Amino acid sequence: MRLDEQPWPDVPERPLVIVPLGSTEQHGPHLPFTVDALVAAAVAVGAADATDAVLAPAMPYGSSGEHQGFPGTLSIGGEALAAVVVELVRSAGTWARSILFVSGHGGNAVTVRDAVIRMRGEGHDVAWLPCRPSVPPGVVPDAHAGRIETSLLLHLAPAAVRPHDDVDGHRGALADAMPELRDGRLRQVSPSGVLGDPRGASAQEGSALLAGMIADATARIRLWRVDGDGLLEAL
């Protein structure tokens, strides 16, 4: 059941509600700003269909201060994001039995975790889950707008992906760049905005990555065991 397609009489009694969380931030010169929301929504759609959950519309804004050096980025910051999570849980809690946030943006993680822990302390059955694809053998993991996200978008929204064979991204260790990222200076680390290498991306790889994330999310939902960080545990 999808709230953006159906009226209120279709809402089942005391359902699980899945809320995708994304961001509006630069993803290099070859991907749209909405990558994280698109991926989170796709994972949430697959998991909701498999578990008969209610799917909420995706939240398109998140905490993206590290990308603020690039025009077009729209960040609401951690405080505002936390308030959104808290109020959505309180609202959904009046008619839903459980709430799950599926986050497609790594920069949302700490804020979402803390807000979910707070809401669990208020007695709500709420959890969260990040979109973390399993990297295929032989593929070097990347952090932002590299091969993984480019493959996912080639599968989900191929018309939105621009040529990327000549995109020059930061290919060093992410840990070395963390001080600049925490200070919102990603552009100093990577003028293109890419952390990784998009070359080698394919729609076929993106389809497999998405299927893996949906299967993982579905298994965690069916288990519904929440750890101390409010995270749904794996089998």
How many Å apart are CA 15 and CA 73, to the nearest integer?
34
Residue 123 burial by Cβ neighbours in a 10 Å radius (0-12, 13-18, 19+): exposed
CATH of the domain at 102: 3.40.50.10310
pLDDT of residue 226: 98
Cα 174 to Cα 127, 159, 228, distances in angstroms:
27, 29, 27
Q: Which residues of the chain have pLDDT under 70?
A: 174, 177, 181-184
How many Å apart are CA 203 and CA 153, to the nearest integer?
8
Question: Does any domain span residue 170?
Answer: yes
Question: Does any domain span residue 234?
Answer: no
DSSP β-bridge partners for residue 144: 195
How many Å apart are CA 68 and CA 181, to the nearest integer?
10
pLDDT of residue 142: 84
- Tokens 């993206």 belong to 64
Number of structural domains in the chain: 1
What is the extent of the structural domain holding 214? 8-222
Question: Does any domain span residue 229?
Answer: no
Question: Does any domain span residue 227?
Answer: no
- Edge-to-edge order in the sheet of strand 98-103: 54-55, 16-21, 98-103, 126-130
Reading phi first (left if > 0) and then psi (alpha if -120 to 50, else beta), residue 153 is in: alpha
Q: Could you give the angle at the alpha carbon of 26 between the alpha carbons of 43 and 106, nearest 5°?
A: 45
pLDDT of residue 184: 65
Question: Does any domain span residue 235?
Answer: no
How many Å apart are CA 10 and CA 100, to the nearest integer?
20
Question: Does any domain span residue 230?
Answer: no
Taking the CA atoms of 152, 132, 32 and 85 in sequence, report the sign of the dihedral they define. positive
Q: pLDDT tens digits for 176-225?
A: 767 776 666 788 888 999 999 999 999 999 999 999 999 999 999 999 99
Question: Does any domain span residue 104?
Answer: yes
SS3 call for 143: coil
Question: Does any domain span residue 82?
Answer: yes
Closest CA to 195 of 210, 180, 211, 214: 180
